[in-house]
Amino acid sequence: MKNKINFTLEKRRNRENSGVNTTDVPVLAVISYPGQRIKYPIGYRVSASDWMEEGQVQPFFVTDNSVNADEVNALIAKIKCEINSYFAYCDAVHSEPSKAEILNKLRLLTGRKEKAIKRLAKRQIKPAETRSFLDYINEHQLFKNFSYDRKKGYRSAFKHLFRFCKTYGITANFDTITTQVLENFRKYLTDGKHCKPVSKNTVSYILTAVKSFWRYCIKMGYTNNNPFLRFEIEPEVYGQPIYITKEERDTLYYLHIPDERLRKTRDIFVFQCLVGCRVGDLIRLKKDNVVNGAIEYIPRKTKDERPVIARVPLCPKAQSIIDRYTTVEDEKLLPFISPQKYNDYIKELFRFAHITRTVTRLNPLTRQEERVSIADVASSHMARRTFIGILHRKVKNEVIGSMSGHSANSKAFSRYYHIEDDTKRDAVNTYLD
């Protein structure tokens, strides 16, 4: 099936004569692609006599709301252009179209999201016995159309909240979650008495997720209770980013490693250092993601919210790593392993390569500085930081962001590099001396 979009009138049966209704009929966008067929009302109704075979309205048509044909046809053209552009984009990066992304585009183009907010705001709060607290949480996540990773993070946040409530015999609902309960929840997450303590940044993320849900429910009129009114959430704090140098990366690249497991880990890690993608995107890369000497993919973290093609030209080292596995009869680009095993093996790889220099980091639980071996904190995300950190000295952020998948004004981008003394010294000597 070929990707395509058409516009038609809904075939609705007339109750009076059992025929097909031909007056005041919704206009539908019909979007088809392999495995899916979406019918979506664009918000206008017309009579069959005013509808043209070309998939638009007769020029003289005017609705009862005094909306003329030009407005209807302009929306049809806009939707057609946007969806066709999205299909072309998916073809370019060899990715299957996302139903969630298509529906989100249609909602934005037709104003359905704003209409839904107004409609939901008028609803009265349903009795507690007819709707559970979890129903509201699920509605929030569906309505906001979060990306896969955002949904995963939010579900984890509410799992922590429900475990806390179960531990202390609290029935989670809009009335029982008070400011004091939130304070107790924060303590529960960090004191280690009832669960493994999480980092302070994770605590901030969890509480922010719950706050976002609460603000949504207040906006929808589901509750007037706001336990966050006098509750402060500490901002996330990050120390100086830790990554390996170009020399250390090349040490790994040229290192003779007899053990096949560590050798494959080395290849994957160095390749990630050379393309800069997140581990979730890395393990999804296939051979057909290599297009004209570059890796092309849609970052999964932003796929449903802000889909942008990340294109990273392959340097000779990256291409040579790919070439080592071209004979493997597998569509995967490299012999990827699970993210957790990958992180464990990276630490082992660093020790084998004697990359064990001491670095300073903020302890995630206490936020106190501590000195540790770089091998102890090595992970897949260090490869991404290495990619950005090495390039940052000579390459503009916009160029790096186009390859790493960061947006132009990303607040997170600065967490991937630090300004080195040589860069500061060059700036002072060049412009101030």
Residues in the chain: 433
CATH code for the structural domain at 128-220: 1.10.150
Sign of CA dihedral 225, 227, 230, 233: negative
**Cα–Cα distance for residue pair 347/364, rounded to 1 Å:** 18
Separation of alpha carbons 315 and 13, rounded Å: 61
Q: What's the confidence (pLDDT) of residue 129?
A: 55
What pLDDT, on the 0 to 100 scale, is given for residue 310?
82
pLDDT of residue 209: 93
Cα-Cα-Cα-Cα dihedral of 302, 304, 305, 310, to 10°? 40
pLDDT of residue 428: 44
| pLDDT at residue number 194 | 84
Report pLDDT for 304: 47
Q: Nearest CA to 82 among 107, 62, 58, 61?
A: 107
pLDDT reported for residue 429: 55
7: helix, coil or strand? strand
Cβ neighbour number for residue 233 with a 10 Å cutoff: 16
146 phi and psi angles, rounded to 5 deg: -65, 155
What secondary structure, in 3-state letters, does 328-379 show? CCCCECCCCCCHHHHHHHHHHHHHHCCCCCEEEEECCCCCCEEEEEHHHHCC
Q: Are 388 and 276 in contact (CB under 8 A)?
A: yes
Predicted local distance difference test score (pLDDT) of residue 245: 93
8 Å CB contact between 361 and 370: yes
Local confidence pLDDT in tens for the 433 residues of the chain: 678 899 988 877 665 555 667 777 888 999 998 888 899 998 888 877 778 777 777 665 655 455 577 788 888 989 998 898 888 888 877 778 888 888 888 888 888 655 554 554 444 444 545 678 888 888 887 777 666 677 778 888 999 999 999 999 999 899 999 999 999 999 999 888 888 888 888 999 999 999 999 999 998 888 999 999 999 998 888 778 899 999 999 999 999 999 999 999 999 999 999 998 888 888 889 888 898 899 988 887 654 455 577 889 999 999 999 999 987 777 889 998 888 899 999 999 999 999 999 999 888 788 788 899 999 999 999 999 999 888 887 776 667 777 866 555 555 545 555 555 565 456 545 544 4
Phi, psi of 360 (to 5 degrees): -105, 130
CATH number of 246-431: 1.10.3720.10, 3.30.470.10, 1.10.443.10, 1.10.287.130?
1.10.443.10
pLDDT of residue 178: 94
Rounded CA separation 142/189 (Å): 27
pLDDT in the model for residue 117: 47
* 221/427 Cα distance (integer angstroms): 54
The predicted pLDDT at position 307 comes to 59
Whether pTM > 0.85 for this model: the answer is no
Task: Spell out the domain ranges in the chain.
Answer: 4-112, 128-220, 246-431
Query: Which of 188, 383, 373 lies closest to 269, judged by CA?
Result: 383
